[in-house]
Amino acid sequence: MKKFIVIIMAVALALTLAFVGCKTTTAETTTAETTAAATTEAAAGETKETAEAKTFGLADVPEISNKADLNLIVETGGVFDKIIPYIEKFTGKTGIKVNVERVASPVVYSKENVELVAGTGVYDLAYVETSWTNEWAQYLFDFRELAAQYDTVEAFDADISNHSPVILACGQAQGKQMVLPFYTYHMGMFIRQDVYDDPTEQAAFKEKYGYDLKAATNYKELRDQGEFFTRKKGAMLKGKVLEQDLYGLAMQAGAYQDNDEFSCYLWGKGADYVKVVKNADGSLKEYVIDQATKDAIKQTMEEYIALTKFASPGSLTANFDFVVTEQGEGRAIVQNTMFSNCFAWTAGIVKEKVADPDAKLGIYQTLGGKPYTGAWSFGVVKASKNPEGAYWLARYLASFECSEAVMKEGGQLSTRMDVLSDPEWKNAENMYPFGILVDYLLSNWTDQSYVDFIKNAWYFNSTAAGKVYEMQMSVLSKGISGELTVDAMVKELVSQTISLTSKFDKVPIREE
Amino acid sequence: MEKGRGNKKEEIDDMVGVKNNDATLSVYSLGRKPSAWETLSSEKYFKWVLLIPLILVLLIFMLYPLIYCIYNSFREGGLQGTIFVALKNYQVMLRDKSFWVPFRRTIEVTAICIICELLIGMGIAMLWNRDFKGQNLIRGLVLLPLLVAPLILSLVWNFLLEYNIGFINQLLNVMHIGRVKWWDSRIALYTICGITIWQWFPFSTSVLLAGLKSLPRDVFEAARVDGSSSWFTFRKLTLPMLSPLIVIITLLRTMWLIRLFDPLYGTTRGAVNTELLDWMVYRTAFVYFDVGYASTLAIMCLFITIILGALIFRQLIRALNAANK
């Protein structure tokens, strides 16, 4: 029996040693790599690039002595198929291998969050939805800090200033640029332009509602238009018999993007989920949920629910792909609030599926002109074993060359004004859909009042925003589907916002 | 002295698991102490050698996470660190309306799914308990839903049940029945039940069919000769004889259904009145990263499973005893 115990002890000891050994090896490796990184940083500091390059490109990436692999996680989707060759070009130029892990977008946050909080350094570049920026700011480098080390701040600013000021603001924490944008999902309202331009429809609308049919600019107009275009199979549209039921609106009211839609309406009223109060020096003082905020949320929810009557019943569990298909296949006239990177996609489906050669889309401001905005972006992780390489890769991915490829090859929307301003978008071939799309984005992004609004938006100031954002999907959905009354929904939204903010933000929050 | 030596020999032989009369294997008879290998490979200890790896795996991968989960349930905070709050999380949970609603739904879904799966499974098993052409092919095909990843199935069902373009609604429309709002908040939970039942009824069918095949024929012959009706035979013979299997199915499905998650992920994501306990645990743990409260909810799930499992297990023992009588 004694020997048996000895054997057990020996096995347990061996296992313990094996675990400890693994951990020690990892620690040693990390230390060695950190030392190597520090050496590289020192070397790089001596050879700082001083030239100001207006348009930064791969040729401007200097020799990087730290050759540690770079790892990043991105979402699945066609755009990365097109960007992988550019990442390979980066590897060719720098000799740094880049490993790209691709996962479905709903799991990007949870997968990255664990690694960032634990400081594992598994990812060198964090793939960040801009509303998570403040939450993750403590785990990311300030880009200007890295620019001062490996580049020059002037060169960095010269190139980055080509990006939309709105999107750059979304990627800042306390004024520091924590992430660089990759592509935007800035929202807009898509309408069937051919239907709105049809004289028969215009006359019928004016007769019924007493004003001209044009893209809605307020809730009443949108509601009227939703009602007007909701028709049964066999009714007429543009003088032709409908072969299927038609809905005035297409909405993504499922518990996935309902909060993005809701934000458009709420922000459009000039309100927000929480009021951000700042000190004179611009630092955060407190968050307040006052009665006016609660009233605005309640009114927005009531209006939202009223609009769902003119959308397909499928809207209650719908995501963006469903809504795109609804309008694309001619079953809906308006996508009230949709990610503008889905515009060309919808236009393509309309062209293919709607049996009307004149069918085409138009893109307009969402109600109130303050659409939900942001971009998938990249930030350099503090725990990275190669921050220098990660910095240059992030800069390259945000460069004119990659950004142009994102739009021209990947079909997503660049956040760079210089890419959007390319006259090529306005030629006869590209004017529809890209020309009108870039006009829409440029008009939004040059609106200073919108830039200021975004800088003060709660999403882009609170370190709890990522978690509250995820919570909102569920709670808003309960209100939309009738699981909770509007009043109960507002109460739960406020209560959970306060609870999560109290746990995950140091700035005090209170309800008035 | 001799006696003493004899006792020592017996002791060692006993230790290495060799009987005194087994002279060929007695290492002691060779005049030396058994080696470590001989000790470990002896009858007495070899079973432990085989069991130790499993016990270690269970300790590391099951007991440790469980204890860690219990530990976290008394703490508050996220991944950055937690603080001890004693029973606060449990108090919050018991007062939390958003816990009791998914709890009630989970019990409802568990009951509906088990009843339907057993009824369908029993019906089909009874139908198939005979020889017919292509029986092996059909029995194999019915197992297909069990072979597909549940998450993939939920995504597929989401498309199939879509209001306008979903195949099911298009079919209903062609049949002039009209489209159904499968994800309406009043019926969405039952749609989830339907998906689950569709995937899992083959499990009940297979188990019950195997049970039916193994029932003794003479008892049924005797009942037939005595002129008992089919219903009487089913009620008084088939059902009692299958009851241990029915209880086993109920036990396993209860444990699995309390953790029902996948059908929600690809469809409603907990919206439209469909949030279940496991989804709530997932949301709290991996969306809010509220580790303390999520651990409390997970422990509650485990507690419910143990309670229900123990009750059903008692029934299983009773059923087995009754079947053996």
Q: Please give the residue of chain A at the shortest CA–CA distance from B35.
A: A3
Measured in angstroms, the CA of B27 and the nearest CA of chain A are apart by 16
Residues of A in contact with B80 (CB under 8 A): 117
Q: What angle do CA A174, A179, A182 make, to 5 degrees?
A: 145
**Domain tally, chain A:** 2
* Residue of A317, A323, A470 to mutate when probing chain B, most B C-beta within 10 A: A317
Residues of B in contact with A329 (CB under 8 A): 165
Whether A94 and A64 map to the same domain: the answer is yes
Residue B53: asked if its preceding bond is cis (omega within 30°), the reply is no
Closest CA to A62 of A158, A145, A152: A152
User: What is the full DSSP assignment across A401-456?
Assistant: HHHHHHHHTT-SB--BHHHHT-GGGGSTTTIIIIIHHHHHHHHHHT-HHHHHHHHH
Whether A362 and A484 map to the same domain: the answer is yes
Q: Please give the residue of chain A at the shortest CA–CA distance from B53.
A: A11
Count of residues in chain B: 325
Residues of A in contact with B183 (CB under 8 A): 313-314, 316-317
The pair of structure tokens assigned to A487 is 């009043």
Q: Which residues 162-201 of B have a C-beta within 8 angstroms of A?
A: 162-165, 181, 183-185, 188
pLDDT recorded at residue A396: 97
Residues of A in contact with B36 (CB under 8 A): 3, 7
CB contact under 8 A, B269 and A256: yes
Hey, is A77 helix, strand or coil? coil
Contact between residue B280 and residue B93 where contact means Cβ atoms under 8 Å apart: no
CB contact under 8 A, B183 and A4: no
The helix (run of H) or strand (run of E) holding residue A382 is none
Mean pLDDT of A285-291: 97
Whether A92 and A115 map to the same domain: the answer is yes
Q: Quick one: CA dihedral B224, B227, B229, B235, positive or negative?
A: negative
Hey, is A70 helix, strand or coil? strand
Q: Please give the residue of chain B at the shortest CA–CA distance from A245.
A: B164
Looking at the predicted structure, is the pLDDT value of residue A228 above 70? yes
Query: What pairing do the DSSP bridges indicate for beta strands B81-84 and B75-78?
Result: antiparallel
* Residue of A19, A481, A504 to mutate when probing chain B, most B C-beta within 10 A: A481
**Angle between the N-to-C axes of helices B188-214 and B150-160, in degrees from 0 to 180, rounded to the nearest 10:** 130
As a whole number of angstroms, the distance between CA A308 and CA A306 comes to: 6
pLDDT recorded at residue A15: 55
Whether A297 and A153 map to the same domain: the answer is no
Whether A331 and A405 map to the same domain: the answer is no
As a whole number of angstroms, the distance between CA B19 and CA B315 comes to: 43
Closest CA to A164 of A345, A411, A371: A371
Closest CA to B99 of B274, B288, B268, B276: B276
Whether B90 contacts chain A with CB within 8 A: no
**Residues whose CB is less than 8 angstroms from the CB of residue B277 and which lie 6 or more positions away in sequence, other chains included:** B102, B103, B106, B258, B297, B300, B301, B304
Looking at the predicted structure, is the pLDDT value of residue A356 above 50? yes
CB contact under 8 A, A503 and B290: yes
* Residue of B14, B185, B274, B279 to mutate when probing chain A, most A C-beta within 10 A: B185
As a whole number of angstroms, the distance between CA A133 and CA B26 comes to: 73
* Residue of B104, B183, B280 to mutate when probing chain A, most A C-beta within 10 A: B183
Measured in angstroms, the CA of A18 and the nearest CA of chain B are apart by 14
* Rg of the Cα atoms in chain A: 26
CB contact under 8 A, A11 and B184: no
Q: What is the mean pLDDT of chain B?
A: 87
CB contact under 8 A, A467 and B287: yes
Residue at A427 is within a domain: no
Q: What angle do CA A418, A260, A222 make, to 5 degrees?
A: 95
- Model confidence band, residue A31 (pLDDT cutoffs 50, 70, 90): very low
Q: What is the pLDDT of residues A191-220, one digit of tens each?
A: 999 999 999 999 999 999 999 999 999 999
CB contact under 8 A, B164 and A7: no
Looking at the predicted structure, is the pLDDT value of residue B28 above 90? no
Whether A278 and A168 map to the same domain: the answer is no
Of chain A, the percentage scoring pLDDT greater than 90 comes to 76
Q: Please give the residue of chain B at the shortest CA–CA distance from A109.
A: B287
Residue at A45 is within a domain: no
Residue at A361 is within a domain: yes
Q: What is the pLDDT of residues A314-341, one digit of tens each?
A: 888 888 988 999 999 999 999 999 999 9
Which residue range is the domain that position A210 belongs to?
A: 187-372+458-512
pLDDT recorded at residue B2: 41
Q: What is the pLDDT of residues A475-508, one digit of tens each?
A: 999 999 898 999 999 999 999 999 999 988 999 9
Whether B105 contacts chain A with CB within 8 A: no
Whether B70 contacts chain A with CB within 8 A: no
Q: What is the pLDDT of residues B211-246, one digit of tens each?
A: 999 999 899 999 999 999 999 999 999 999 999 999
Residue at A385 is within a domain: yes
CB contact under 8 A, B79 and A314: no
As a whole number of angstroms, the distance between CA B229 and CA B260 comes to: 40
Whether A338 and A476 map to the same domain: the answer is yes
Whether A106 and A192 map to the same domain: the answer is no
Q: What is the pLDDT of residues B251-300, one digit of tens each?
A: 999 999 999 999 998 898 888 899 999 999 998 988 888 889 999 999 99
Q: What is the pLDDT of residues A371-427, one digit of tens each?
A: 999 999 999 999 999 999 999 999 999 999 999 999 999 989 999 999 999 999 999
A36 versus A115: the higher-pLDDT residue is A115
Mean pLDDT of B30-35: 75
Measured in angstroms, the CA of B35 and the nearest CA of chain A are apart by 10
Looking at the predicted structure, is the pLDDT value of residue B322 above 70? yes
CB contact under 8 A, B52 and A110: no
Cα separation values, A271 from A180, A263, A288, Å: 27, 9, 12
Measured in angstroms, the CA of B203 and the nearest CA of chain A are apart by 30
Q: Chain A to chain B, count of Cβ pairs less than 8 Å apart?
A: 94
* Residue of B27, B51, B160, B164 to mutate when probing chain A, most A C-beta within 10 A: B164
pLDDT recorded at residue A319: 86
The total of other beta-carbon atoms located within 10 Å of residue A19's CB is 11
Q: Please give the residue of chain A at the shortest CA–CA distance from B159.
A: A322
Residues of A in contact with B184 (CB under 8 A): 313, 316
Residue at A138 is within a domain: yes
Residue at A19 is within a domain: no
Q: What is the mean pLDDT of chain A?
A: 89
Residues of B in contact with A331 (CB under 8 A): 164
Looking at the predicted structure, is the pLDDT value of residue A273 above 90? yes
Measured in angstroms, the CA of A119 and the nearest CA of chain B are apart by 10
A41 versus A120: the higher-pLDDT residue is A120
Residue at A94 is within a domain: yes
Residue at A449 is within a domain: no
The pair of structure tokens assigned to A433 is 């859909």
What's the half-sphere exposure (Cβ side, CA atoms, 13 Å) at B13?
19
Hey, is A238 helix, strand or coil? coil
* Residue of B15, B51, B163 to mutate when probing chain A, most A C-beta within 10 A: B163
Torsion angle, CA of A272/A263/A406/A54, rounded to 10 degrees?
-20
The total of other beta-carbon atoms located within 10 Å of residue A466's CB is 25
The pair of structure tokens assigned to A141 is 């480098």
- Model confidence band, residue B7 (pLDDT cutoffs 50, 70, 90): low
Mean pLDDT of B308-317: 91
pLDDT recorded at residue A19: 47
Measured in angstroms, the CA of B51 and the nearest CA of chain A are apart by 11
Residues of B in contact with A314 (CB under 8 A): 162-164, 183
pLDDT recorded at residue B135: 87
* Residue type at A232 in one-letter notation: K
Looking at the predicted structure, is the pLDDT value of residue A8 above 60? no
Whether A404 and A335 map to the same domain: the answer is no
Measured in angstroms, the CA of A313 and the nearest CA of chain B are apart by 7
CATH number of the structural domain spanning residue A147: 3.40.190.10
As a whole number of angstroms, the distance between CA A350 and CA A54 comes to: 39
Contact between residue A196 and residue A222 where contact means Cβ atoms under 8 Å apart: no
Q: Please give the residue of chain A at the shortest CA–CA distance from B273.
A: A483
pLDDT recorded at residue B290: 86
State phi, psi for A8 to the nearest 5 degrees: -60, -45
**Residue in B45, B185, B290 closest to A481 by CB:** B185
Closest CA to A263 of A483, A454, A462: A454
Measured in angstroms, the CA of A221 and the nearest CA of chain B are apart by 26
Contact between residue A222 and residue A446 where contact means Cβ atoms under 8 Å apart: no
**Residue in A7, A11, A114 closest to B79 by CB:** A114
Whether A139 and A60 map to the same domain: the answer is yes
Q: What is the pLDDT of residues B154-193, one digit of tens each?
A: 999 998 998 888 899 999 999 999 889 999 888 999 999 9
Whether B98 contacts chain A with CB within 8 A: yes
The total of other beta-carbon atoms located within 10 Å of residue A57's CB is 13
Q: Tell me, letter by letter, the H, E, C secondary structure of chain B.
A: CHHHHHHHHHHHHHHHCCCCCCCCCCCHHHCCCCCHHHHHCCHHHHHHHHHHHHHHHHHHHHHHHHHHHHHHHCEEEECCEEEECCCHHHHHHHHCHHHHHHHHHHHHHHHHHHHHHHHHHHHHHHHHCCCCCCHHHHHHHCCHHHHCCHHHHHHHHHHHCCCCCCHHHHHHHHCCCCCCCCCCCCCHHHHHHHHHHHHHHHHHHHHHHHHHHHCCHHHHHHHHHCCCCHHHHHHHHHHHHHHHHHHHHHHHHHHHHHCCCHHHHCCCCCCCCCCCHHHHHHHHHHCCCCHHHHHHHHHHHHHHHHHHHHHHHHHHHHHHHHHHC
**Residue in A7, A329, A477 closest to B271 by CB:** A477
Looking at the predicted structure, is the pLDDT value of residue A17 above 50? no
Whether A210 and A254 map to the same domain: the answer is yes
Whether A271 and A128 map to the same domain: the answer is no
Measured in angstroms, the CA of A348 and the nearest CA of chain B are apart by 18
Query: Domains in chain B, start-ordered, CATH in brackets?
Result: 1-39 (no CATH), 96-324 (1.10.3720.10)
pLDDT recorded at residue A109: 87
Contact between residue B283 and residue B274 where contact means Cβ atoms under 8 Å apart: no
Whether B290 contacts chain A with CB within 8 A: yes
**Angle between the N-to-C axes of helices B88-95 and B97-128, in degrees from 0 to 180, rounded to the nearest 10:** 70
Q: What angle do CA B198, B184, A76 make, to 5 degrees?
A: 70
Q: What is the pTM of this model?
A: 0.79
Measured in angstroms, the CA of A376 and the nearest CA of chain B are apart by 18
Q: What is the pLDDT of residues A68-96, one digit of tens each?
A: 999 999 988 889 999 999 999 999 999 99
Q: What is the pLDDT of residues A150-184, one digit of tens each?
A: 999 999 999 999 999 999 999 999 889 999 999 99
pLDDT recorded at residue A50: 36
- Model confidence band, residue A138 (pLDDT cutoffs 50, 70, 90): very high
Residue A497's Cα: distance from chain center in Å? 20
**Residue in B56, B78, B98 closest to A503 by CB:** B78
